[in-house]
Amino acid sequence: MTDTLTITKNKKLSALEHIKEQSRFLRGTIDLGLADRTTGSISEADTKLLKFHGSYQQDNRDVRDERRRQKLEPDYGFMVRVRLPGGVLTPRQWLDLDDLASRHASSGLRITTRQTFQYHGIRKEHLRDVIGGIAATGLSTLAACGDDVRNVVCSVNPLPSSSHAQVYEWALKLMEHVKPHTTAYQELWIDRRERTSDGAQDEEPLLGKTYLPRKFKFGIAVPPYNDIDVFAQDFGLIAIFDERHQLQGFNLAPGGSMGATAGDAKTYPALADLIGYVPKEHLLETCWHAVAVQRDFGDRGERKHARLKYTIDDRGLQWFRDELQSRLPFGIEPPRPYRFEHHGDCFGWVETGDGRWHLTLRIPSGRLIDTPDRPRQSGMREIARIHQGEFRMTCDQNVVIANVAAKDKDAIDALVRRYGLDDHVGASGLRLHALACVALPTCGLAMAESERYLPTLLGKLEALLERHGLREEPIHLRMSGCPNGCSRPYMGEIGLVGRAVGKYDLRLGADHAGERLNALYRENVGEDVILAALDGLFGRFAAERTAGEHFGDFLARAGIVEPPRRRPAVQY
């Protein structure tokens, strides 16, 4: 393996590189911090290492100022994220995860935009119970956050069942192939003992002891459904099937990611671009080396510049392809044809031709918590008690109750109605597909509300759409509380990116299949400006659209926004 520090040796390394290097494979002093009961927090260096274990130290920002006035320490709580490749879990696992949420989390279970769960508000003294409890279900939190390969996502929407099974198998294999190997995780959370080793025996054959320069995301899409936003991944994989629905291989699309920093033009969202195709038997080796290229060439000096997209843009897409090729004993082939029809989920029941049924439910912002009118967390628990198939989380924060026998459908439908899980029934096209990131009060980076504000804004936008006869129009709206873009807002036909309390960048004009970014339309504006602008544009759309044209495509065609350019194509 190339020494990870060799290539960047002339650069000043970021502070986190030193923390990782000295951490003895992610141990740091986390064990001591957990034992210290004089504070609800852990040391700053350990908060960085804890991320690799799947947890963030946060504080409740709603009470931050008041506690400061009272000279109390912040109201610390930990976010815990489950690693759930492909987003699939059994009813037994659902019940176990739900039980942990009921006992320890402040706000139920939260389905994320990478098809897994988060818990919020876990007290330090319960962190071992929660992470250990997740491990006891057969899942893990290792590498759910941190500078490593994150949860590998894959298409889940009802497809020919065999197609889903085939790509899911590869999502699992890929995650296993590139995940960290440190035994610190076992020691800290599973054996639940204070330090048992100094990490001297540990090895990270792929990641090395400083892990990656930054997070690295893989996702597998199954055309025609781009329900994972494959071009938003650091390394997107487009599954290619033959006419008998047998998986042949994968198109390779590196260089996507959403994150940007407000006011820093050197940071930007970017879509991934195609560099070729490999048969499925070469997938693991290809991905291993793709990660290794970024390990060796990614920027370890400037974290804002450390994602694969910047490595690619600094050196060229062709360079990346050639570098990857030079490490592989087989040829990367030209990409195979494919076509995406849409991104987002398809709701309601679908039969997949094998007598099995799948129900996709809309879970607003993925938040499963009981409210008086919609006790969604309890409802899903009741469904898990009778369901014989599996659950699949989606990258739009929804859930598929998958593999249901025809005879069991009525019982599930009854629970869906009883517990108010029927948000997809009668919802406007806009509401069905709207996404919001967590933002306040837990996210330390939030500049504006997102999840808590989305329902209010949707109501106001629906009134406008109604007036223009567009209630059923499936317009994709994505909102985030800051430019990091956790709801992939740069891929929304309407994107709202938080800049300050009550202020958002209004971005417009992405397409409907997740193949084009939107562009800035109004910067740092409040609700009144957003509503007025969209009212006018909805009116024009209703009057001037061509047959079947989507809102984002209309905005681009009419020249209302100019979509950003893609990278030049590579030579094969």
- Catalytic hit among 395, 443, 488, 507: 443
**CA 99 to chain CA mean position, Å:** 23
Identify the CA nearest to 112 among candidates 435, 380, 454.
435
**480 is in the binding site of which of ligand SRM, ligand SF4, none (Cβ under 5 to 8 A by kind)?**
ligand SF4
Report in angstroms the alpha-carbon separations of 131 from 82, 150, 189, 215, 442. Answer: 9, 17, 6, 21, 19
Across the strands, what pairs with 508? 494, 519
Does residue 311 belong to the site contacting ligand SF4 (CB under 6 A)?
A: no
Stretch that binds ligand SRM, among 112-120, 163-171, 511-519, 540-548 (CB under 6 A): 112-120
Of residues 383 and 443, the one with the C-beta less far from ligand SRM: 443
Does residue 118 belong to the site contacting ligand SF4 (CB under 6 A)?
A: no
Q: How far is the CB of 451 from ligand SRM (least distance, A)?
A: 7
Per-position x/- string for 304-323, each x denoting binding to ligand SRM as judged by CB under 6 A, each - no binding: ---x----------------
Does residue 484 belong to the site contacting ligand SF4 (CB under 6 A)?
A: yes
Tokens read off for 346: 């398809």
- Residue 476 near residue 155 (C-beta atoms within 8 A): no
For strands 435-436 and 477-480, give the pairing: parallel
Of residues 280 and 309, the one with the C-beta less far from ligand SRM: 309
Cα-flanking dihedrals φ and ψ of residue 127, to 5°? -60, -40
Does residue 481 belong to the site contacting ligand SF4 (CB under 6 A)?
A: yes
Of residues 24 and 295, the one with the C-beta less far from ligand SRM: 295
Is 482 a residue of the active site?
yes
Stretch that binds ligand SRM, among 108-116, 200-208, 349-357, 418-426 (CB under 6 A): 108-116
- Catalytic hit among 145, 287, 395, 482: 482
CA 319 to CA 103: how far, in whole Å?
A: 51
Q: Which residues of 255-266 are buried (b: 16+ CB within 10 A; e: fewer)?
A: bbbbbbeeeeee
Is 443 a residue of the active site?
yes
Does residue 445 belong to the site contacting ligand SF4 (CB under 6 A)?
A: yes
- Of 151, 161, 210, 378, the residue at the interface with ligand SRM (CB under 6 A) is 151
Identify the CA nearest to 516 among candidates 343, 396, 263.
343
Does residue 109 belong to the site contacting ligand SRM (CB under 6 A)?
A: no
CA 111 to CA 113: how far, in whole Å?
A: 7
Q: How far is the CB of 107 from ligand SRM (least distance, A)?
A: 10
Does residue 485 belong to the site contacting ligand SF4 (CB under 6 A)?
A: yes
Does residue 482 belong to the site contacting ligand SF4 (CB under 6 A)?
A: yes
Q: How far is the CB of 151 from ligand SF4 (least distance, A)?
A: 15
Is 507 a residue of the active site?
no
Of residues 236 and 249, the one with the C-beta less far from ligand SRM: 236
Identify the CA nearest to 239 among candidates 295, 296, 116, 155.
155
- Of 24, 164, 217, 516, the residue at the interface with ligand SRM (CB under 6 A) is 217
CA 254 to CA 259: how far, in whole Å?
A: 15
Q: Which residues of 449-465 are buried (b: 16+ CB within 10 A; e: fewer)?
A: bbbebbeebbeebbebb
- Catalytic hit among 51, 215, 280, 507: 215
**CA 264 to chain CA mean position, Å:** 23
Of 256-315, binders to ligand SRM (CB under 6 A) are 257-259, 307
The three-class DSSP label of residue 13 is: coil
Identify the CA nearest to 476 among candidates 439, 423, 432, 523.
432
Does residue 118 belong to the site contacting ligand SRM (CB under 6 A)?
A: yes
| Residues, the chain | 572
List of residues contacting ligand SF4 (CB under 6 A): 437-439, 443, 445-446, 450, 480-482, 484-486
**Residues involved in catalysis:** 81, 150, 215, 217, 437, 443, 482, 486
